[in-house]
Amino acid sequence: MHSYDVIIIGAGPAGMHAAQALASRGQQVALIDDNPAAGGQIWRGVNNHATQSARAALHSPLITTYYQTRVIATLAAQQLLVETPNDAHLLHYRHLVIASGARELLLPVAGWTLPGVTGIGGLQALVKAGMPITGKRVVIAGTGPLIWPVAAFLRTHGAHIVAIAEQQSLPRLVRFGLHLARYPGKLWQAMSYATQLIGVPFWHDSHVIAISGTTHSTGVRIQRGEHQFQLACDYVALGHHLVPNLDIAQSLGCATTPTAITTTDLLATTIPHVYAIGEARGIGGLDCAIAEGHLVAAVICQDASASAQWHQRVQTERRIATAIAATFTPPHLPPLAADTIVCRCEDVSHGQLQHAPDWRTAKLQQRCGMGPCQGRICGAATQHLYGWGPDAVRPPLRPARVATLALLHAISPTAE
């Protein structure tokens, strides 16, 4: 078994900065991420000064990186079972930092299973990974601050943004803009996106009613106030803001709310030796994630002055986060047709689910949530549509090879 002073789960900006700040204080660190490289969602494939220096800082003899590595189980006695592409390992930690980030909330709408319909962040990730976008017509719809940077990114890469349909009302968006104006850095960023998107139709109070196509999305129907529009397009990018990844924390027994891992001001969760930073602590954005990465290192190393300094920073960033959360509230969905698929893995439709009394019955009788995503997509949807509570989290936290789980025969159930 490999043992580390600190294991960090998630190599996004929060985890990367935590790793670097811990290593600079002499800690042996393991940094785990299921992606092939560090960067998380926002820095995926981005090459600028900030990302280059953050990546360079990971080249430390004190940092061991585990990429393409999934945490499969959290175990007694501060152990983790992780799976790499060809192997599995048991890792031991003295401190654990959860920097597991967030995922996009994807909600069902007629036609959303057609190839060509992706998440908003999803489309960006696919393009960064090689998918051609030049000359493609894209409609971006949903809600959340992710819409603008992604739209700007896609346009810079040659996409034709047909329209952006934001569900929130104009007054709400204006209030958010005014709030941002208090933070010059954020305002500047927003302005730069706006400049890049000049000429792109932006519609507020709008949402997708249906996506058309037989084997690929070819168009989308949008409700804008009282009116409906049909737009032709190649891709529809949908997203309803972000939801934090809470499963690792829940598996450890940490208290969580639906939108965050519960922590103290100094990032400690309710379980000893376990900390949470970045989006997993509540959606807070890039600068917040970076500040919390530094703060957690200072806290773990009991560096009081650095803690005080970074704590200040984190407080400021979290105030912006609160404004974001208040603006981009989960949307109201248009009523679904009975044949709209809700559980994509098992093809379970709204009609099969709408009269089920609860998640467990829907699962047992209709197989809803039984597929490989294990409710990561449909669980959020059924919570939204029917108010069903989520499943208890248990191992494997991600689908895992049988051989990986078999490794558990060798663990000592209690301790060292």
Partner 1 sequence: MATITVFINNHPYTCDAGNSVAGAIAQAHQQLVTTRQSVHGMPRTAVCGMGICFECRVTINSNAHQLACQTPVATGMQITYEETGYA
Partner 2 sequence: MSQSHVIIIGGGIVGCACAQRLAATGWRVTLIERDTIGSGATAAGMGQIVALDDSPAEFALTADSQRRWHALGQANPLVHEYTPCGTIWVASDDEELAMAAAKVPNYHAAGLHAELLDAAALYRHEPNLRPGLPGGLRIAGDAVVYPSRSADWLWQQTGGTLIHAAVTAIHAGGVTLADGRHLHADAVVLATGSRTRDLVPALPIRPKKGHLVITDRYPGFIHHQVAEMGYVKNAHLADVDSVAFNVQPRATGQILIGSCRQYDIHTPEVDPVMLGQMLQRCLEFMPALATLSSLRVWTGYRAATPDGQPLIGPHPHQPGLWLATGHEGLGITTSLGTADLLAALMNHTTPAINPTPYLPSRFFPAP
Please report how close the Cβ of residue 413 comes to partner 1 at its closest, in angstroms.
30
- Is 242 strand, coil or helix? strand
Q: Could you tell me how far CA 400 lies from the centroid of its own chain?
A: 21
Please report how close the Cβ of residue 227 comes to partner 1 at its closest, in angstroms.
28
Taking the least distance from each CB to partner 2, the nearer of 73 and 141 is 73
The terminus-to-terminus CA distance of the chain in angstroms comes to 10
- 8-state DSSP, 376: T
- In 68-225, which residue ranges form alpha helices assigned H by DSSP? 120-128, 147-156, 170-180, 184-196
The site partner of 415 among partner 2, ligand FAD, partner 1, none (C-beta below 5 to 8 Å per kind) is none
Contacts of partner 1 in 17-76 (CB under 8 A): 34-36, 41, 45, 68
Taking the least distance from each CB to partner 2, the nearer of 308 and 406 is 406
Q: Say whether residue 205 binds ligand FAD (CB under 6 A).
A: no
Among residues 156, 151, 159, 155, the alpha carbon closest in space to that of 133 is found at 159
Burial environment of residue 272 by CB neighbours within 10 A (0 to 12, 13 to 18, 19 or more): exposed
Q: Say whether residue 144 binds partner 1 (CB under 8 A).
A: no
Q: Which residues contact 377 (CB under 8 A, 6 or more apart)?
A: 106, 343, 344, 345
Q: Say whether residue 168 binds partner 2 (CB under 8 A).
A: no
Taking the least distance from each CB to partner 2, the nearer of 303 and 347 is 347
Give the x/- contact pattern for partner 2 in 47-86, rule: CB under 8 A.
Answer: --------------------------x-x-----x-----
The site partner of 103 among partner 1, ligand FAD, partner 2, none (C-beta below 5 to 8 Å per kind) is partner 1
Contacts of partner 1 in 90-129 (CB under 8 A): 103-104, 106, 113-119, 121-129
Q: Say whether residue 409 binds partner 2 (CB under 8 A).
A: yes
Q: Say whether residue 372 binds partner 2 (CB under 8 A).
A: yes
How many Cβ atoms from other residues are within 10 Å of residue 335's Cβ? Answer: 8
Size of the site for partner 1 (CB under 8 A): 45
Q: Say whether residue 178 binds ligand FAD (CB under 6 A).
A: no
From residue 302, alpha-carbon distances to 62, 163, 208, 308, 336 in Å are: 19, 50, 50, 11, 53
Give the x/- contact pattern for ligand FAD in 335-374, rule: CB under 6 A.
Answer: -------------------------x--xx-----x----
CA-CA distance, 296 to 307, in Å (whole number)?
8
Among residues 359, 356, 339, the alpha carbon closest in space to that of 347 is found at 339
Residues that bind ligand FAD (CB under 6 A): 360, 363-364, 370, 391-392, 394
